[in-house]
A and B are shown apart, each in its own frame.
Chain A
Amino acid sequence: MTTTDAEANVAPEVRLFLARVRRELADLDPEVLSDITDGLEADFTELLEERGPDALGDPVEYAKELRAAAGIPAGVKAPRGFAEQVDGLLDAGHRRFDTALAKVGELLRTDLGPVVAWLRPLWWIVRAWAAVWLVAALFGWGMTSAAAVLLLVVAVAVSMFIGAGRVWPGGERGTLARVVLLGLNAFAAFVLFMTWANGGVGGTDYDRGWSDGFNEAGGGGGYAAPIDEQAGIYSGGKWVSNIYPYDASGKPLTGVQLFDQDGKPIDVVTQPDCTSTTAAPLPPLDADQIDMAEIACTDEMTGEPLQPRIFYPWSNGAAQLYNVFPLPSRVQPDTALDPNAFADGSDDAPVIQEPPLATVPKASLPGIATSSPSASPSASPSASPGESPGTADKP
Chain B
Amino acid sequence: MDTTQLLKGVLDLTVLAVVDGEDAYGYDIVRKLRDSGLTDVGDASVYGTLRRLYAAGALTSYVVPSESGPHRKYYGITPAGQGQLKQQSEDWSHFSTTVTEILRGASA
Contacts and interface: CB of A to CB of B under 8 A. Distances in A.
Interface of A: 2, 4, 6-7, 9-10, 35-36, 38-47, 50, 61-72
B51 A40 contact: no
A43 B26 contact: yes
Contacts of B54: 35
B94 to A, nearest CB: 25
A41 B52 CA distance: 20
Given A39-B63, A62-B43, 19 more contacts: A6-B66, A6-B68, A36-B48, A39-B72, A40-B26, A41-B69, A42-B66, A43-B26, A43-B27, A44-B27, A45-B70, A47-B27, A50-B31, A62-B44, A65-B48, A69-B46, A69-B47, A71-B48, A72-B48
B54 to A, nearest CB: 8
B104 interface: no
25 contacts: A2-B63, A6-B66, A6-B68, A10-B69, A35-B54, A36-B51, A38-B63, A39-B73, A41-B70, A42-B27, A42-B70, A42-B73, A43-B25, A43-B72, A50-B31, A65-B45, A66-B47, A68-B45, A68-B48, A69-B44, A69-B46, A69-B51, A70-B49, A70-B51, A72-B48
A63 B47 CA distance: 10
B62 to A, nearest CB: 10
B58 to A, nearest CB: 13
A39 B48 contact: no
Given A68-B48, A69-B48, A70-B51, A6 B70 contact: yes
B63 A9 contact: no
Interface-central residue, A43, A65, A68, by most chain B CB under 10 Å = A43
Interface-central residue, B26, B44, B46, B52, by most chain A CB under 10 Å = B44
